[in-house]
Structure 1
Amino acid sequence: MKFIRWTLGKIILLLNAIFSPRGIKRTEEAQRLIDKKAEHYSLYQFEACPFCVKVRRAMKRQSVNIELRDAKNDPTHREALEQGGGRIKVPCLRIEKDGEVQWMYESADIIGYIEKEFA
């Protein structure tokens, strides 16, 4: 079973690399504002998780540079996800606004939020 998951993960990553989406072209100033806004976000994810790939593709389409945190291989990020979000489930978007932290699970919700906030 582990071999099958590993193989499927590598296939997903390969297809993502081959068919990578194009990002929005913005002026330097507009992209700088988007990057500044994105500093308050972190995406907890596993590299080969299909739902995480889906969210990363949405980020690329919107040209958003949200910090990626590997919750599978980095125990610090894994623990932060469990403590802050309440469970180890990916993808999870950590949103920090006005000193408050919100944890958003579910890839469709995260993609909708990214498209709304960064379009």
Structure 2
Amino acid sequence: MRVIIRLFFRLVRLILTPVMLLAEKLTTPKALVRTAAEQAAVDAACSQLALYQFSACPFCIKVRKQMARLGLNIVRRDAQHNQQHRNELETAGGKIKVPCLRIETAPGEVQWLYESADIIAYLQQRFEHSSATAQ
């Protein structure tokens, strides 16, 4: 019986994953428009960030949409299929849970931020400017 249940959920994931990824692609908002200097400053700040994620996780999709809306070029690390990233998340972050934003605050100082709502709030507070406008 356990095998049948496992196979059922594996089949559901196989069907839903492409649907979720297509929906993300179709509904991702346009990025904020910034001047070249503002975008360069944002890109420099984003170089200290990394998002540990699973591709079809609905909470990760929510965070990625916010990143797209804010025009953030944050490194995405696949903790589902890449064992090295998964191990980093577990050993340094403390648990295998996505989405997780790795924030390097100073050389050698790293903060791990879990929960999609907390990550989105952090990104909005740090990168959303009144001078930027939506396309």
Using structure 1 for the length normalisation, give the TM-score.
Answer: 0.97
SS in 1 for 2:97: coil
Q: In the comparison of the two structures, how many residue pairs are matched? A: 119
- Structure 1, unpaired ranges of 5+: none
Query: What is the aligned partner in structure 2 of residue 33 from structure 1?
Result: 41
Question: Within 2, Cα distance between the matches of 1:65 and 1:116?
Answer: 16
Using structure 2 for the length normalisation, give the TM-score.
Answer: 0.86
Residue 134 (structure 2) pairs with residue 102 (structure 1): no
Question: Within 1, Cα distance between the matches of 2:14 and 2:77?
Answer: 20
* Correspondence 1:33-112 to 2 at 5 A: 33-99=41-107, 100-112=109-121
Cα shift at 1:6: 2.3
Contact preservation (8 Å) 2:28, 2:69 = no
Amino acid of the residue matched to residue 33 of structure 1? A
Q: Please identify, of 48-57 and 9-18, the stretch whose mean Cα deviation from structure 2 is larger.
A: 9-18
Amino acid of the residue matched to residue 86 of structure 2? R
Question: Within 1, Cα distance between the matches of 2:40 and 2:15?
Answer: 38
Question: Where does structure 1 differ by over 6 angstroms across 4 or more consecutive aligned residues?
Answer: none
Question: Within 2, Cα distance between the matches of 1:69 and 1:10?
Answer: 19
SS in 1 for 2:32: coil
CA deviation string 1:3-43 (max 9, x = no partner): 10222221111111111211100011110000000000000
SS in 2 for 1:68: strand
